Structure 1
Amino acid sequence: MADDVTLSTREAIELAKTALMRVGMAEPAAIALAQATVAAEAAGKPVIGFAHLTDYLRSLVDGRIAGKAEPLLTSPVPAVMKCDAMGGVAQHGFSIAREELASKAKTFGIAVFTVCNSYTTGELGWYAASLANDGLVAIAATNSHAVLAGAGSRSPVYGTNPLAFAAPLEGDDILLIDQSSSATALVNVRDAAARGASIPDSWAIDQDGQPTTDPFAAMQGALVAFGGSRGANIALMVEVLAAGLTGGNWSLDAADFQAGESSPGVGLFVLALSPQLFADHFSTRLSEQTGRLSSDYNVHVPGLDRMKRQRAAESAGIRLPRQLFDSISSFRRN
């Protein structure tokens, strides 16, 4: 649109960082969150890019995020790194630990990083992709406050509980799968509500447990898992990884990330593997296999489109709607 604002990636990072610092976030955390936000926007995921940044900004103002929190990192054994976000954001702790996590994975073949007491993690694929870009295979899992009905339940008991997987291909490309356990992500329902649009009746149920096309009724009811009980089982698996192993809040106990003064206090689980220690020529073989799947069987290989969009954003810039740009620019500490 003619009224859109186009920013270079550097300008976009500066916009996000400045807004976050204005409402009380320490600079290192603001830089990490700004970089993750721009990465999501450049990857073609605007609902968890700058649109989601406004949730962070409001939560800093309202006290749901401890803006000055300094993550506490410990390592009980060499291949395990634990981070207490102390009410801050997971992106900050991961940015601090990332280089050491990658080094440990390359040394031992496997390394695990966990976060507890965090606000929402933003784009989960950002964590896995970061490690894949360093030649590692990565799995990431996180939870949130309860919005997803469990198998046989009409009430929300899990978060959308996404799972991300990334692996390096030859060159700069990566394979990246990033998907929620729900039929859709909560941000898509919120986006439909903001636009006054309906949603597919396969996404959610209302408070009476009936399928609904009304996004407002969906937010009062519950999202449904993809694939029925099988998807709900994956949500439970993610819950065990993201909340059970990290010490974070179970989704049932997590505060709403949009309301109140309490942090959701959820968790993040990241597993990093060094493929070179498991199989020879891993990236070459995987590139050949994904190429065969794509060319011979017309299979969509997730992650390649992301890399193309990110490269395009590097040259053409990040385009933001004027209203969103003005909203972010206007944030000030109360």
Structure 2
Amino acid sequence: MSQLHALAADVGGTNARMAWVEVDSKGRSAPVVISAQTYRCADFAGLDQVVARFIQDHPGQPQALALACAGLRHEREIINGNLPWRVHLDALEQVAGGAPLHLSNDFEALARATRWLAEGAGQLLHGPAHGRAAPVVVIGPGTGLGAALRVPYPGGEIVVPTEGGRPGFAPGSAEESALLELLRAHSEHAGHVDTETLLSGPGLLRIYRGLGQLQGLTASAETPEAVSQGSEAGTDALARAAVESFWGALASVCGNSVLGLGAYGGVLLAGGILPRLLHAFDADRFAARFAAKGVMRPVLEQVPVRLIEHGQLGIVGAAMAISEA
């Protein structure tokens, strides 16, 4: 039988997206999403309960369970500081009726699914319309900062998951250095401030509050959404400065990722928050920060950066692991 009826899940720090998916066991075509629903992780005591709720809401029996989840597998658990609970694999397999489990990192799955994107999909933010035949890095700020590398080779490709949000943040301006010192003073990890501390939804709020402290201004917004809304509406100058600072830091991290991973085929930006910040995107400033890497500037000027719609790519990429097992 070439088609498998699978339950696929894309689990991030805030939401768990569940779907029934038809998967070509030979991997000759993209998995097809039949029905899907999104649940808030904080509303449940564990991922097994989310899966059970989805099966209750959309009855069926999976032939396979494909899970894309933020975090790192440790024995029979997945550990992630951004999830409200640990993921226990035994409980997941039990609620799925013993169906075989195929596990992916969430950005590994997202990067895998970009194979099916049309050439030139998304919005070009920097560089030429088409990149060279080389690895592509997929980066996305959300509850945290995810990243994965898609590496082509003759006749196929592999996807390498990374913990791209965990290395220490490298400031690229005096303002970012000052922000880093503020955050370092309150670090719970012996002064270590990782990149996703700034480049994430919660990170945007930290930038906003940090700039307020540095400039002696009142930071009245209480959520990342309120920061982006105040920036877009033009009612909060501090919020606008925070969003612009976010884009600058993201550009610098993208450039570092290209050089550090050899991703000269391009950068694909995903994640839920970037579309809400596009009102403050400035192509010239982004290009300047992205390419500001000394003698490597001419190389980075020819690396495309695109913003893609996350949508159901995580679910599709999770399901693709079934045919690649």
TM-score where L is the length of structure 2: 0.30
Q: Which has the higher strand share?
A: 2
